[in-house]
Chains A and B, each alone.
Chain A
Amino acid sequence: MNKLNSKIPNGPLAGKWTNHKGKINLVSPSNKRNIDVIVVGTGLAGASASATLAELGYNVKSFCFQDSPRRAHSIAAQGGINAAKNYQGDGDSTYRLFYDTIKGGDYRSREANVYRLAEVSGNIIDQCVAQGVPFARDYGGLLDNRSFGGVQVSRTFYAKGQTGQQLLLGAYSAMNRQIARGKIKMYSRHEMMDVVIVKGKARGIIARNLVNGEIERHSAHAVVIASGGYGNIFFLSTNAMGSNVSAAWKIHKKGAFFANPCFTQIHPTCIPVSGDYQSKLTLMSESLRNDGRIWVPKEKADAKLIREGKLSPVDIPEDKRDYYLERKYPAFGNLVPRDIASRAAKERCDNGYGVNKTGEAVYLDFSHAIIRYGEEKAKVSGLDSSDSKLVSKLGKEIVKQKYGNLFQMYEKIVDENPYELPMKIYPAVHYTMGGVWVDYNLMTSIPGCFAIGEANFSDHGANRLGASALMQGLADGYFVLPYTIGDYLSNEISTGEISTDLPEFDKSEKEISAKLKKLISNKGEKSVDFYHKKLGKIMWNKCGMSRNEKDLKSAIKEIKELREDFHKNVKIPGGLNEFNEQLAKATRVSDFLELGELFAIDALERNESCGGHFREEFQTDDGEAIRDDKKFKFVSAWEYNDDPSKPILHKEDLEYEDIEIKTRSYK
C-alpha cells in the first residue's frame, strides 16, 4: 500500500482551497488557549506562522539559532515577491501565476498546492502593506511592480534590493506584538536537536541552548518545522553560514519522508569565487537581468587574453561578443528561468569562454542599459541626446537609482567599478526545492509535525521562479498552516498539557547528550570546516549543475567514506556546556553528511533532466533537457531506514487536471 496520502481535496481546482477551508475542523477560542505549538525557525514562514498562530490564540514557542528572530536568512532575499494582483493590467491572474509556477517548476510540483499558493498570493501583499512594509511605489502613490525571470508579466512587488528584509521585519513585528502579549515565547540562540514522538505523534522537541550548552525539553501539541533549505550542503552557497538541514533531517530520521532532495536551484547571478578561503557566495538580485545583458567573447583567444589580464572587456567590439542567452532563447533572452541561465553559463565556461582568473565567470553588462536610459532621460529633459558623455552620465544615474545598492555591494567585494566595467557573474547554489514531504495540509508523514516554507518540498517542483520563495514562505505561514493545523489540533483539545517527564523525552535527551559527548571527546585532527569543505567539493563537482551516473555513484561512495572519517577524525575544541560554535557546526555538518548521500541517491534514481536537475545522459543534441513524464512524473519521497545509505523510495504520482503538460521551452 502506498504510504503517501497527499489528501488533496476533491472538486474543481479553483474551488479546492475554499471548500477545504469551509469543511475542516476548527478549534474554539477557549480550547486554543490550552494548546501549545512549537515553531522551529523564524524566517518568513516561521515568523508569519508563529505570529498568526499566536494571534489565533495558541500558545506558541518559537525557536531560532540566531541571536534574534529578525536575522533569519529570509532577509537576504533581494528582488521581490510575486502576487497575482494584476495591478499593471498586463493580463496577470491567479491562473497565470499558477501556470507559470507549474511550468517554471518543470511539471514536478503538486497542482493543488500551487493553485492555492497563487490564490492567496494577493492577500500577502495586502497583509504586508497593512503591517507597514514599505514597498516601492510609483508617483501616483500606488504599488510598483517589476518583471522577473521566466514570466511575461510584471507581478513582482519589491522594496528596493531589500524585499526579504522588509517582509521579514513585517513578520517579525507581528511576532513582536504577540511576544509583548505573552502569546509567543521566543527562544533565540537555541538549536533544535530532535523531535520527540509520543504514541506516533510529534509531542515536542529537544533543544540546545547555544549560549550555555544546556539541553532543554519542550513539549507541544504540534511541531512546525520552518528551518529553511539545505543549500549549505555545498559549503559554498548563497545561504547564511548557519543555515542548516538539521531540524528537517531530525524529523526525517524519526519518520518524516524527505522529498526530491536532488532538486537544487543554482542561481545565475552571483559573484564568482575568488579563492580557496572563500566562505560563502554573494548573490545579486535576478532583477539585474532586466537591464543587464549576459555575454562572453565569441573567440576563445579573446577569453584567454581576458583571463590573463591582457585585454579589457570594454575593448571587445560588439561583433566579437556572444550574447549567448539572446542567441539561444530569443523569446525570453536574458530573462530565461534560473536553471537555464545557470546551465548556459556553465556550458560557455566549460568550453573555455570564461572571463575571470579561474575561468568561471561570464559578463553581465549594463552599458547598453546606461545608454538607453540616458537617451530617454535626455529626451524627456529636453537635453541633447547625441552628447554621449551626457547620455552616459544620465544613464548611470538611472541605473544607480534602480540597482545602486547592488552595484555598491559588487564594488565592495570585487573592487571593480560596475558602471565602467561589466560585472562578472557565475552561478551559485541558492535554494533547495526539495525538502520534507508534506500533504495538502502541510503535515509531514509524522502526525502533528508540519513543515512550511523552504523546509518542505514545496510548490516549486524542479525549479523555482524568481520572487516565489518569499511568496511561498508567507503563504504557508500566514494563510495556509494556521487553517490546516486547526484540523489536526481539533483532535487534541482534550489532551491537556504534555509532560516533559515522559519516557520518550528522557530517551531522546539521553541520545542527544550521548551524541554530543561523543563528538566533543573525539580526539581527531581535522576541523569541522575541513569536512564541510570536502563535502561541498564532492557535491558541487558531482551533484551540481549537471550530473551523470558515474559521478553520482562515486559521490555516494565518497560521501559515505567522508562521513565515516568525520566521526573518527573530527576535532572539536572547547566543552559541552558553553558557547561552542564548532560543536554546533559539527552537529549540522554531521547531518549534511547524511543528507548528501540521499541527495546523490535521489539524483541517480531520477533518470531524466528536469528543472534544476540536469542529467548529462538525458539531453538533446543542442544541450536542452529531456524530461521523462512517462517514468518520472512523480515526487520521490524517501523514508529513512536506520541507515542513511538505505533509504526507501515512495512515489507520489503527480496529476495535472487543469494544465496541459508541455515541454518547457523558452525559445
Chain B
Amino acid sequence: MKLYLKIWRQTNTDSNGSFQNYEIDEITPDMSFLEMMDVLNEKLIMEGIDPVAFDHDCREGICGSCSLFINGRAHGPDTGITTCQLHMRKFQDGDSIVIEPFRASSFPVIKDLVVDRKSFDRIQHAGGYISINTSGNTQDANTIPIRKEDADNAFDAATCIGCGACVATCKNASAMLFVSAKVSQFSYLPQGQVEAKDRVLNMVKQMDEEGFGNCTNTGACEVECPKGISIKNIARMNKEFLKAKL
C-alpha cells in the first residue's frame, strides 16, 4: 500500500505547528496504524528528519496512551478501538490520511501529536477515590453483597481508560463522559455512597476549572469511546450532581 500522510508537526507547547506531507510505501494491511507510524519514523530517522512524536505504550488498547485524530475521527475510522488497535486494512492503497493531535484547550500539545492530559489526573485528584485507608484492616470482601446488575454497571463505567477520545471528538471538548464514568462507577456501589455528594461536586468543579466544554448530549463520545462507555453515565452524573446540589 502507498499512502499520503498529512501530519501535524509542532516543536513544543509554545510554538505554532503546521501540517507536513509525507509519502509512505510498503505498508501492509496487517500492520497496525502505529506500526505504520513506526515505519514512517524509521524512514525519517534514516533521512535525518526528526521523527513524529506520538504517545503509545501498551499497544493492546488498554493503557489509553495513544491519542491520534485520524481523518477527522478520534482513534480513526473504526469504533470501539484505540489507535493501536486500528489496522491498515481499514484504508485503501493510495489513500490520503490526515493525522492531528487530540485538540482541546485543556489538552495542550507537548510535541507533534503528543498532548498533555494531566487535566484528567487533576479531576481524579478532586474526588475520584473512596477515602479508605490501605491498612488491610477493612472488613471481609463478602460482607456487603452487591447486586450483580449494580456490580456489572459499575464495572461498565469503570472500564474507562482515560484516553481522552471523548473530549477530542466532542464538538464542545467536554469531559463529561470521562468524569461521569468515575462518578457513575462509585454511585452504583455501596462503598461510594458515603462521599457521593462531595465527590460529584468537587470533580465537576475541577472539570469546569480545567476549561472543558459543556455537554450537549450529541452522543459522539459514546460512539468513539474505545470501551463503549454509555452516555447514560452522563445522565447519571447529572442526577448525582442535582441530588448533591439540592
Contact = CB atoms under 8 A, between A and B. Distances in A.
A490 interface: no
Given A180-B125, A578-B111, A52 B45 contact: no
Contacts of A159: 155, 158
Contacts of A142: 142, 145
Interface residues of A, number: 81
B147 A141 contact: yes
B186 interface: yes
B30 A132 contact: no
Interface string B187-198: 001011000000
Contact of B31 (A66, A173, A275): A275
Contacts of B142: 87, 142-143
A582 interface: yes
A68 B138 contact: no
Interface in A484-531: 525, 527, 529
A293 interface: no
Contact of A132 (B49, B147, B192): B192
A176 interface: yes
Interface string B201-234: 0000000000000000000000000000000000
Interface in A104-130: 120, 123, 125-130
Nearest first, the 9 closest Cβ-Cβ pairs linking A and B are A141-B145, A173-B129, A134-B155, A129-B141, A130-B138, A134-B154, A579-B111, A137-B151, A240-B57
B110 A579 contact: yes
A25 interface: no
Contacts of B6: none
Interface of B: 11-12, 28, 30-32, 34-35, 38-39, 42, 44-46, 48-51, 53, 55-65, 80-81, 85, 87, 89, 110-111, 114, 116-118, 120-121, 124-126, 128-136, 138-142, 145-148, 151-152, 154-155, 158-159, 161-162, 185-186, 189, 191-192
A132 B185 contact: yes
Contact of B35 (A126, A127, A277, A478): A277
Contacts of B34: 279
Interface string A187-217: 0100000000000000000000001000000
Contact of A67 (B32, B55, B154): B55
B35 A279 contact: yes
Contacts, number: 212
Given A67-B65, A136-B155, A173-B124, 17 more contacts: A55-B133, A66-B57, A76-B62, A76-B63, A126-B138, A128-B141, A130-B191, A132-B130, A135-B151, A141-B151, A277-B39, A278-B35, A412-B85, A413-B87, A415-B30, A527-B45, A574-B50
A131 B87 CA distance: 37
Given A160-B155, A412-B85, A211 B110 contact: yes
A578 B11 CA distance: 9
A304 interface: no
Interface string A571-599: 10110001101100000000000000000
A76 B136 contact: no
Interface stretch (A12-20, A164-172, A253-261, A328-336): A164-172
Given A127-B138, A479-B136, A581-B51, A242 B57 contact: yes
Contact of A131 (B32, B35, B111, B191): B191
A179 B127 CA distance: 11
Given A134-B158, A275-B30, A573-B49, A280 B60 contact: yes
A179 B125 contact: yes
The residue among A174, A529, A573 with the most chain B CB atoms within 10 A of its own CB is: A573
A165 B85 CA distance: 17
A280 B62 CA distance: 14
A573 B58 contact: no
Given A279-B35, A409-B60, A573-B51, A131 B132 contact: yes
Given A173-B128, A578-B12, A140 B45 contact: no
B63 A73 contact: yes
A139 B148 contact: yes
Contacts of A143: 141-142
Given A120-B136, A130-B139, A172 B31 contact: no
Contact of A277 (B28, B117, B159): B28
B64 A70 contact: yes
A413 to B, nearest CB: 7
A313 to B, nearest CB: 19
Interface of A: 48, 51-52, 55, 66-71, 73, 75-76, 85, 87, 120, 123, 125-143, 159-160, 162, 165-166, 169, 172-174, 176-177, 179-180, 186, 188, 211, 238, 240-242, 274-275, 277-280, 282-283, 408-409, 412-413, 415, 478-479, 525, 527, 529, 571, 573-574, 578-579, 581-582
Nearest to B189: A132
B110 to A, nearest CB: 6
A347 to B, nearest CB: 27
A124 to B, nearest CB: 8
Nearest to B124: A176
B47 to A, nearest CB: 10
A240 B50 contact: no
A68 B118 contact: yes
A415 B141 contact: no
B175 to A, nearest CB: 14
Contacts of A137: 145-148, 151-152
A4 B111 CA distance: 47
Contacts of A75: 58, 62-63, 161
Contacts of B42: 527, 529
22 contacts: A67-B55, A70-B162, A71-B65, A73-B63, A123-B138, A125-B141, A130-B132, A130-B139, A136-B151, A140-B145, A159-B155, A162-B62, A162-B155, A169-B158, A174-B132, A275-B30, A279-B35, A409-B60, A409-B61, A413-B85, A573-B49, A579-B53
B165 to A, nearest CB: 15
B51 A582 contact: yes
Nearest to B31: A277
Contact of A408 (B28, B80, B140): B80
A48 B134 contact: yes
The residue among B80, B121, B161, B185 with the most chain A CB atoms within 10 A of its own CB is: B121
Contact of A581 (B11, B53, B133, B134): B53
Contacts of A68: 117-118, 120-121, 162
Contact of A579 (B30, B114, B135, B146): B114
A52 B125 contact: no
Contacts of B132: 127, 130-131, 174
Nearest to B186: A132
Contacts of A479: 136
Contact of A274 (B30, B50, B135): B30
Contacts of A282: 59-60
B38 A529 contact: yes
A93 B128 CA distance: 34
A141 B62 CA distance: 27
A275 B192 CA distance: 47
A241 B41 CA distance: 15
Nearest to A72: B63
Contact of B151 (A76, A134, A180, A478): A134
Contacts of B159: 162, 165
A130 B151 CA distance: 13
B136 A277 contact: no
A26 to B, nearest CB: 14
Contacts of A525: 46
Contact of A527 (B46, B134, B135, B186): B46
B129 A177 contact: yes
Nearest to A161: B62
B242 to A, nearest CB: 22
